[in-house]
């Protein structure tokens, strides 16, 4: 899969976690708003810096499914504006596929 596809899959996976536990993961709402790849037709995320940060971590153009979770975990861990507890919860619980 390509990076944008993986980014979108991560968005959906995190959105699913947010829907399950909105109160516990309140801070994730703003993150998902910035990450939203569907808000603007001419952008890969609502906040272009979000996709740029993702691409800084996920440098390969094509990613196989066996590495996808490892790379998205690395991206989530790099998002230090999300609390450590929330990042750990997400990495433990979200499913890409």
Q: Give the E-state strand segments of 21-83 in sequence order.
A: none
pTM of the model: 0.92
Residue with tokens 């699913």: 16
Residue 26 pLDDT > 90: no
Length of the chain: 97
| Residue 63 confidence (pLDDT) above 90 | yes
- List CB contacts of 87: < 8 A, sequence separation 6 or more: 76, 77, 79
Residue 57: enclosing H or E segment and its boundaries? helix 48-57
Q: Which residue has the higher pLDDT, 96 or 23?
A: 96
């Amino acid at each position: 899969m390509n990076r944008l596809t993986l980014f979108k899959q991560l968005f959906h996976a995190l959105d699913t976690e947010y829907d399950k536990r909105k109160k516990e993961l309140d801070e994730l709402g703003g993150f998902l708003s910035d990450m939203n790849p569907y808000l603007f037709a001419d952008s890969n995320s609502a906040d272009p810096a979000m996709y740029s940060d993702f691409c800084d971590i996920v440098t390969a153009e094509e990613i196989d499914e066996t590495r996808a979770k490892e790379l998205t975990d690395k991206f989530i861990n790099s998002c230090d504006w999300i609390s450590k507890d929330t990042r750990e919860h997400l990495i433990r619980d979200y499913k890409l596929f």
